[in-house]
Amino acid sequence: MTGKFITFEGGEGCGKSTQIKLLSEYLKQKGYDVVTTKEPGGTEVGQEIRKLLVCGDKDKFDDVAEMLLYFADRRIHLTKKIWPALEKGSIVLSDRYADSTMAYQYYGYNKRIQKSRLNDMYKIVAGDFKPDLTLILDIDVKKGLARSYAKAKTMEVKELRFEGRELEFHENLRHGFLEIAKENPERCVVLNADKTIEELHQDVIDIVKERLGL
């Protein structure tokens, strides 16, 4: 595949969607073809799966059912959007990808689902494919949740199923993302998200230039 796949990861309210929008604008100004997307919900079918996953009662699924929905969304996302765009040479920016599944389903839920099971499922769905670069936006859990709840007030559909979980879940989640970064230094970069939007945007640009030469 000739394009580049950049994923943005992090806990609730870390600013991923804002930074993706800014990076997309920057890259387009440089002449690149850019596709922005998200998980779950990067395709038409995925949007229906997203409603199931991020809205409503936090306990409406057991762990396995939730995991399977995420991987179903990912397979559709890869085959219908990500891989075709990369084949055309586009830069694909995704708001969450597989690291979120590991962080939420393994670390967030206190390792109730085995890491090996998640890795096996990923292999079935995506094979050896992985992002070219993953930016993990790190922020204090309470600050991130406050941002997320403030954003929800402006949204017609309240996507707060995970925000409603106990603080321990979100602390585990943050720890999980940092562990993933340690395990994958060739792909992952942790950025301090407790900055102004402009400062964080410059950090993102610097890393994209350094790691991918864009």
Q: φ, ψ for residue 153 (rounded to 5)?
A: -65, -25
- Which helix (H) or strand (E) segment is 174 a member of? helix 167-183
CATH number at residue 17: 3.40.50.300
Tell me how long the chain is: 214
**Domain limits for position 135:** 4-212
- Give the per-residue pLDDT at 101: 94
Task: Provide the pairing of β-strand 91-95 with 4-10.
Answer: parallel
CB atoms inside a 10 Å sphere around CB 89: 12
Are 133 and 108 in contact by the 8 Å Cβ rule? The answer is no
Least confident of 9-13, 54-58, 60-64, 206-210: 54-58
**DSSP 8-state secondary structure symbol assigned to residue 86:** H
Residues 138-175: pLDDT tens digits? 999 888 877 766 665 565 544 555 656 677 888 999 99
Residues 16-50: pLDDT tens digits? 999 999 999 999 999 999 999 999 999 999 999 98
- Give the per-residue pLDDT at 188: 98
Tell which residue, 131, 138, 121, 124, has the closest CA to residue 184.
131
Residues 186-208: pLDDT tens digits? 999 999 999 999 999 999 999 99
Under the banding of pLDDT at 50, 70 and 90, the label for residue 73 is very high
**pTM of the predicted protein model:** 0.91
Mean residue pLDDT of the chain comes to 90
Q: Give me the number of domains the chain comprises.
A: 1
